[in-house]
Amino acid sequence: MSTLEVSPSEPVSGPSGHTITNDFSIQVATVNGSGSQTANTVLMRSLFQMGIPVSGKNMFPSNIAGLPTWFTIRASKQGYIGRRKEIDFLVAMNPETAREDVMKLDRGAAVVYDEPLKLNALRSDLHFYPVPFDKLVVPVCPEAKLRKLVRNMIYDGVVAWLLSIEMEEVHKALVKQFGKKKAKAAELNWGAAMAGYEFASKTFTKSDPYRVERMNETAGKIIIDGNAACALGAMFAGVTVVTWYPITPSSSLVESLIGYLKRFRHDKETGKATYAVVQAEDELASIGMALGAGWAGARSMTATAGPGISLMSEFIGLGYYAEIPAVIFDVERVGPSTGLPTRTQQGDILTNAILSHGDTKHPMLFPCSPEECFTMAIEAFDFAERFQTPVFVMTDLDLGMNNWMADPFPYPEKPIERGKVLSGEDLDRLGGFARYKDVDGDGVGYRTLPGTKHPMASYFTRGSGHNDRALYTEREDDYIHNMDRLAHKFEVMRKHLPAPVVHQAENAEIGFIAVGTSDYAVRESCDQLRNEYNIHASYMRLLGYPFCEEMLDFIRRHDRIYVVDQNRDGQLLGLMRLELEPNLIAKLRSIRYYGGLPLDARTVTDEIIAQEGK
Amino acid sequence: MSTTVTPPPKKTNRLGLEVLSYKGSKTTLCAGCGHNSISERIVECFYELGVNPYTVAKFSGIGCSSKSPAYFLGMSHGFNGVHGRMPAIATGAMLANRTLLGLGVTGDGDTASIGIGQFMHLVRRNIPMIYVIEDNGVYGLTKGQFSATADIGSTQKNGAPNDLPPFDCCALAMKWGATFVARSFSGDKKQLQAIIKTAIVHNGLSVIDVVSPCVTFNDHLGSTKSYSYMKDHESVLQELDFVPAFEDIAVDIAEGEVMDVRMFDGSHLRIRKLGRDYDPTDRFKGLKALEEAEAKHEVLTGVLYVNPTKPTFFDTLNMADEALATLPQEKTRPSRETLETVLEELR
């Protein structure tokens, strides 16, 4: 979207006379493995340090080096940090994609490009800024083999000049990025950034309208990816056994966790680890170990993505039926099968809700931000032990792997809750126990941990039919009684999940229901609908499954409910259809996006307008 | 006048527990099944060594063998998991509480067919626990199909021959990291007792492959896992004698004939060579002997390999000495200041 007052055929030249401040998106197109991640992070951080709300999205290939990568930075004075579909400012560094990247732009956009690509010949309605990167890099980087990595930092300087980004902030961001240990690398890169800045200031006359201006909207905030936030949550939840198998996009969750545990979870006196992390041989083993550990009383977890979920299916059924706590972080990516491993989707909602054969149901938590990744990770461990069952924390690649501006995390004030575990003294007092007996009416039995020194502590855990006393049974009444108790336990969970976030619009006929990262697009779309079409829409963001009572009231209050799904088949909607009354189902409509990029507001708004017949 | 007869004192072990405390529920396996003999040996060994049953955790997969943990050590926690994946469950549980004495009981299908991957990785990690394979070469619960330890040329009950070579679980375990490896026969009470007792005190992974005939589906003429085949083809490597640490018997080693292995807890395994030059601390020669025996259609039984000092997975992970599962919150939730430090780095 451009507000430039020119007709499509009219060439753009010279200063346009008006400016667009702190409201645009920059796309940097590079080749992966070229060190562009550093340049892009520094650019994003510089804007953040200037107090401007910012988000960064990395669209990268499933590859180590040589394939196209796009990084999009959005600056938004209104604080919208979802993906913006329209690109206003392109940095074209990749010869392979440059032509298509330029052709896709709306008129009036600005393009910084590698001079030999001669992109200015392609269109006449854009603002072009050619930069001879290869020439500029030689004097700032005498060592030829490092030039490929330093070269990209030049565009940071060029863009800084063009957008009025303060170079002191670029410098500060660079120093932060490289850390104290890599001061020499930081210096080299700073030279490249300055070379770009000086070249731009001497060479260009700014003709595009985009610029930044210092704000005060990011004070106290942090920049973090969702995977690291989940990792921190797990560490502060007191996780003790972590088992995993590497898979994009969840690997960095456990890698961050390993880093934090090494720093903060060794006994001060003995130096020994108060945790165990095991890279398992596959996901069957990682979930098996997590369940074994949960059974023996550890706070255990694993992290995975779609293909891993498929492999874990059998064990998750055991966890459900034998009632063993474990936390599974599912950083969703695009399926089916291998799918698009480096693209985002909410592809596992329906699968996870009923994962494994037979009648099974599993609770899920849906964080949408790093803050919620942190707080819900902690909640997930408490919830798993309280209800003695596997719990899924559902994030996605967008949340997990991209850097987000976030509020600082609150220290967990609530003591760690270990659920219903009987000690030897308890058994003395009670004179025994029945593992699966519903003593308290919440469907949750009392358990003992192996190693409990008491003659009545032991019981035999099994995935085969069992009665209240955990004894093998094939009796019809025992089976039904047990399955009904499990169903009742699931009903009780409904009331103990985090409450939904509701934005109720006055006199709204329509409402949105969404989970997770759809939030950014839906909130921005609500504003677009109101400002551009005078449509008032309410919005309920669910934080957990099983669905809450409030959701039913929300649906009743509106004529039409748009359920937003980042998958082809409307999985969230499908899950609602499985459980709701027909009169409520009749109100449900579907908005689906499944292209693998983070959902954007315009896509949602356009779809609403089409379905509402406006 | 009546005379009161004092009953004889009940026989107890060093913990004051009767053998009854080590028993489980009544077996539901077939009469004559080798697995029942193994269960009896487990009961005897744990009783005789005075192992506290509360400290034991039993693990199994799926199959006839995997049912058996219900038939011994009823006062120990047990976990009957999913087919072929007992190693993962056991690994997790042992990581959660390293003070447990882990006892896995599994079968040849559970280990060598569906579970070969997890078995190999358990071996590679040298998790300190006992791993008993009740090896009968067939799937009993599904009525007699071959498993991956069935010998090439052996036949099913209906005469169908097995056309693939077997995995030798002992050779695999020796090659890839288990630190106590033995093979026995469910019918050899004395040998199996010495092996199980050694495994109980061993600080590392013990893999015990016990040929345990399936009387219903694999005890016929074409079987190489039958009672009669073992009678004709078993080649006993050594005479074994286990001396527990608490018996404190001075060890005097007879010249040349007896090898004494000091275990982690101070117990001794005395190995009397039976005219063979077999050194169970020499892995390479042991593997060679297994190859040679296979060519001769011999089943070598006894202690195949022992290494009481190799670091375990817990050592590798530098884990705390106490159970991770029950560490108090002060040890598992870092401080408010730690969170502030981390957040400051992210600003």
Could you read off the pLDDT of A281-297 as tens digits, one per residue? Answer: 999 999 999 999 999 99
Task: Provide the pLDDT confidence category of residue B1 given band limits of 50, 70 and 90.
Answer: low
Percent with pLDDT over 70 in chain B: 96
B65 close to A (CB below 8 A): no
Mean pLDDT of chain A: 95
**What are the pLDDT digits (tens) for A579-597?**
999 999 999 999 999 999 9
A269 close to B (CB below 8 A): no
Instruction: Give the Cα separation of A158 and A202 in Å (integer).
Output: 11
In angstroms, what separates the C-alpha of B343 from chain A's closest C-alpha? 7
Give residues with Cβ within 8 angstroms of A110, minimum separation 6.
A88, A89, A90, A126, A127, A128, A129, A162, A208, A210
**What are the pLDDT digits (tens) for A145-170?**
999 889 999 999 999 999 999 999 99
A285 close to B (CB below 8 A): yes
Question: Residue A5 above 50 pLDDT?
Answer: no
CB < 8 Å & 24+ apart, contacts of A195-198? A195/A136, A195/A137, A195/A139, A195/A140, A195/A154, A195/A157, A196/A131, A196/A136, A196/A153, A196/A154, A196/A155, A196/A156, A196/A157, A196/A158, A196/A159, A196/A160, A196/A161, A197/A157, A197/A158, A197/A160, A197/A161, A197/A167, A198/A157
In angstroms, what separates the C-alpha of A290 from chain B's closest C-alpha? 6
A373 close to B (CB below 8 A): no
- Predicted confidence at residue A17, as pLDDT, reads 67
- Predicted confidence at residue A18, as pLDDT, reads 85
Looking at chain A from residue 341 to 370, which residues have their Cβ under 8 Å from any Cβ of chain B? none
- Cβ-defined contact of B329 to A472 (cutoff 8 Å): no
Instruction: Give the Cα separation of A117 and A100 in Å (integer).
Output: 12
B334 close to A (CB below 8 A): yes
Q: Which CATH number describes the domain made up of A224-406? A: 3.40.50.970
- Starting from the edge strand earliest in sequence, which strands make up the sheet with A127-131, in order? A54-59, A68-76, A23-31, A89-92, A110-114, A127-131
> Where do the domains of chain B lie, and which CATH numbers do they carry?
19-325 (3.40.50.970)
Q: Cβ distance A516 to A394 under 8 Å?
A: yes
Question: Residue A10 above 50 pLDDT?
Answer: no
Lowest mean pLDDT among A174-183, B154-163, B261-270, B314-323: A174-183
- Cβ-defined contact of A292 to B320 (cutoff 8 Å): no
> Looking only at Cα atoms, what is the longest distance across chain B?
94
Q: Mutate one of B67, B326, B337 to test the A interface: name it (highest A CB count within 10 A).
A: B326
Chain A residue with minimum CA distance to B63: A464
The packing angle between helices A133-140 and A183-203, to 10°, is: 130
Residues of chain A within CATH 3.40.920.10 domain(s) are 20-211
CB atoms within 10 A of CB A71: 23
Average the pLDDT over A76-92 and give the result: 95
A175 close to B (CB below 8 A): no
Nearest CB partner across the interface for B319, out of A273, A287, A315 = A273
Lowest mean pLDDT among A213-222, B219-228, B242-251, B270-279: B242-251
- Predicted confidence at residue A362, as pLDDT, reads 98
Task: Name the helix (H) or strand (E) containing A248.
Answer: none
In angstroms, what separates the C-alpha of A451 from chain B's closest C-alpha? 5
- Cβ-defined contact of A289 to B92 (cutoff 8 Å): yes
- Cβ-defined contact of B346 to A223 (cutoff 8 Å): yes
A300 close to B (CB below 8 A): yes
- Cβ-defined contact of B85 to A315 (cutoff 8 Å): yes
Percent with pLDDT over 90 in chain B: 91
- Cβ-defined contact of A409 to B343 (cutoff 8 Å): yes
Question: Residue B255 above 60 pLDDT?
Answer: no
- Predicted confidence at residue A7, as pLDDT, reads 38
**What are the pLDDT digits (tens) for A228-275?**
999 999 999 999 999 999 999 999 999 999 999 999 999 999 999 999
Task: Provide the pLDDT confidence category of residue B338 given band limits of 50, 70 and 90.
Answer: very high
Nearest CB partner across the interface for B78, out of A260, A454, A461 = A461
Task: Provide the pLDDT confidence category of residue A512 given band limits of 50, 70 and 90.
Answer: very high
Set of chain B residues whose Cβ sits within 8 Å of the Cβ of A281 = 117-118, 121
Residue A534 half-sphere exposure, CB side, CA atoms within 13 Å? 0
Looking at chain B from residue 150 to 209, which residues have their Cβ under 8 Å from any Cβ of chain A? none
Set of chain A residues whose Cβ sits within 8 Å of the Cβ of B82 = 288, 314-315, 318, 463
**What are the pLDDT digits (tens) for A459-468?**
999 999 999 9
A515 close to B (CB below 8 A): no
Going A478 to A480 to A483 to A489, the CA torsion angle's sign is negative
**What are the pLDDT digits (tens) for A42-72?**
999 999 999 999 999 999 888 877 889 999 9
Set of chain A residues whose Cβ sits within 8 Å of the Cβ of B90 = 292
Set of chain A residues whose Cβ sits within 8 Å of the Cβ of B118 = 281, 284-285, 288
Chain A residue with minimum CA distance to B57: A450
Question: Residue B314 above 80 pLDDT?
Answer: yes
- Cβ-defined contact of A416 to B332 (cutoff 8 Å): yes
Set of chain A residues whose Cβ sits within 8 Å of the Cβ of B77 = 448-451, 457-461
Task: Provide the pLDDT confidence category of residue A6 given band limits of 50, 70 and 90.
Answer: very low
**What are the pLDDT digits (tens) for A533-547?**
999 999 999 999 999
Residues of chain A within CATH 3.40.50.920 domain(s) are 501-612
Set of chain B residues whose Cβ sits within 8 Å of the Cβ of A318 = 81-82
Looking at chain A from residue 307 to 346, which residues have their Cβ under 8 Å from any Cβ of chain B? 314-315, 318
Task: Provide the pLDDT confidence category of residue B277 given band limits of 50, 70 and 90.
Answer: confident
- Predicted confidence at residue A11, as pLDDT, reads 45
- A181: DSSP letter: G
A455 close to B (CB below 8 A): yes
Residues of chain A within CATH 3.40.50.970 domain(s) are 224-406
In angstroms, what separates the C-alpha of B335 from chain A's closest C-alpha? 9
Nearest CB partner across the interface for A449, out of B70, B92, B325 = B325
In angstroms, what separates the C-alpha of A257 from chain B's closest C-alpha? 12
Q: Which CATH number describes the domain made up of A501-612? A: 3.40.50.920
How far is Cα of residue B132 from the mean position of the Cα atoms in its chain? 3
Task: Provide the pLDDT confidence category of residue B206 given band limits of 50, 70 and 90.
Answer: very high
Set of chain A residues whose Cβ sits within 8 Å of the Cβ of B87 = 285, 288
The architecture of the domain spanning A20-211 is 3-Layer(aba) Sandwich (3.40)
pTM for this structure? 0.95
- Cβ-defined contact of B92 to A458 (cutoff 8 Å): no
Give residues with Cβ within 8 angstroms of A599, minimum separation 6.
A82, A83, A517, A518, A520, A521, A564, A566, A593
Q: How many CB pairs below 8 Å do chains A and B form together?
A: 216
Chain B residue with minimum CA distance to A45: B347
- Cβ-defined contact of B77 to A457 (cutoff 8 Å): yes
Looking at chain A from residue 208 to 227, which residues have their Cβ under 8 Å from any Cβ of chain B? 220-224
